[in-house]
Amino acid sequence: MSARAFVELCEVGPRDGLQNERRIVSVADKLRYIALLAGAGFREIEATSFVSPKWVPQLADAEEVLPAAIAAHPGTLFSVLVPNERGLERALACGARKVSVFTAASEGFARRNINATIAESIERFRPVVARARAAGVPVRGYVSCAVACPFDGPVAPEAVRETCARLAEVGVDELDLGDTIGVAHPDEIERMLAACAEVRPMEQLVLHLHDTHGRALACAGRALDLGVRRFDGSTGGIGGCPYAPGATGNVATERLAELCEARGFATGVDRGQLAEAARFIAGVLGPAAPLDPAAPLGPAAPLGSAPPPG
Ligand code: HMG
Ligand code: MG
């Protein structure tokens, strides 16, 4: 009997899942959550972000979380978001072995999320990618709003391909395509993936779906049909971006695992242990609603500081 083909699931709950929660989860609970996820067998877990704590106070404890996670789970790859050279320095000082830069296919979201135009963000990433790679640390490049933008509306596949090409030109190792606000239909995902596959082969692309309209699994199914073999998910479907109004959580990792297995793929993820992680983090977060998507954008929202950019 031949071995089943493999689909790689990256768990982003500790980063994307927790960055949008009103309550700030303690370091101890984050590490317990990460331990349960590591026990479920993920090769890669996105652990936290080294972004400005004024912009995302929920992850201001990255210096405590990442080194402890690496020490406790040496067999797991912990990736982290870095928006600039300062973030990279902080991540490397904590022993990061993989980092992710992040921009968008739409100018409106780039401005609100990282206070830069797409072109400025790419130039900001150039030294980040060079320094990371010189340190032997691979770099993921996220492209948000790969189908639609909460500020600019629908996003053309050509715009997504263009941002992918710019990221590839600065040397990122992988491209991760985000339906940040979870509005995609499978046909739109297909057109977007076809455009991006002109930059990197389909099996190397990563798909990062949010599930605002309940179509994320249908989109993942279409992507599997097209040859995509790498997906991000967040336990229990928690999360969202605080700078994407109206967006809800990521597609639930357990549902992705179920879909892949039903299609005959192996994922290496123990769904029983994953369910335990989902129960744990749901208990920690409680019934409280995530940040109000209609709340004002920018660091002013969580901290009451300067008005948001743009
Ligand atoms: P800015 O305000 O333009 O930058 O923010 P700045 O250079 O003026 O810095 C502002 C303050 O932050 C300064 O401190 C800096 O020192 C500090 P102050 O002088 O006011 O005391 N600072 C930092 N501190 C720690 N670490 C750093 C850092 N950088 C600056 N790395 C910036 C620009 C990019 C920093 C800001 O916009 C930012 O941090 N944005 C991150 C927003 C974010 O994390 N969004 C969510 C993640 S993306 C996402 O969720 C989408 C994704 O899931 C895919 C998808 O779904 O599509 C990935
Ligand atoms: Mg996301």
Domains of the chain (ranges; CATH) run 3-285 (3.20.20.70)
Residue nearest to atom 14 of ligand 1 (CA): 52
260 is catalytic: no
Top mutation candidate among 50, 51, 90 for ligand 1, by most atoms within 8 Å of CB: 51
Distance 149 CA to ligand 2 centre (A): 13
Distance 307 CA to ligand 2 centre (A): 23
DSSP H helical ranges for 98-200: 107-114, 118-134, 157-170, 186-196
Residue entry with tokens 């303690």: 26
Structure tokens, 22: 């009103």
Position 305 scores a pLDDT of: 30
Position 141 scores a pLDDT of: 98
Identify the bridge partners of residue 144 per DSSP, sorted by sequence position.
104
Distance 136 CA to ligand 1 centre (A): 24
77 in Cβ contact with 43 (< 8 Å): yes
**Torsions phi, psi of 154, nearest 5?**
-60, 145
Nearest of 35, 94, 85 to residue 59 by alpha carbon: 94
Cα separation, 56 vs 111, whole angstroms: 16
Position 239 scores a pLDDT of: 87
Q: pTM of the prediction?
A: 0.94
- Non-local (6+) Cβ contacts of 11 within 8 A are 37, 40, 42, 44, 45, 46, 232, 233, 234, 235, 253
Could you say which DSSP state residue 309 is in? Answer: P
Among 145, 149, 219, 241, the active-site one is: 241
Position 298 scores a pLDDT of: 43
Residue 96 CA neighbour count, 13 Å, CB half: 32
Indicate which atom in ligand 1 lies nearest the CA of residue 210. 56
Residues 209-229 pLDDT 10s: 999 999 999 999 999 999 999
In this structure, the number of other CB atoms found within 10 A of the CB of residue 29 comes to 15
Position 247 scores a pLDDT of: 82
Position 310 scores a pLDDT of: 22
Chain-centroid distance, C-alpha 5: 24
Position 8 scores a pLDDT of: 98
Residue ranges of the chain whose pLDDT lies below 50:
1, 290-291, 293, 295-310
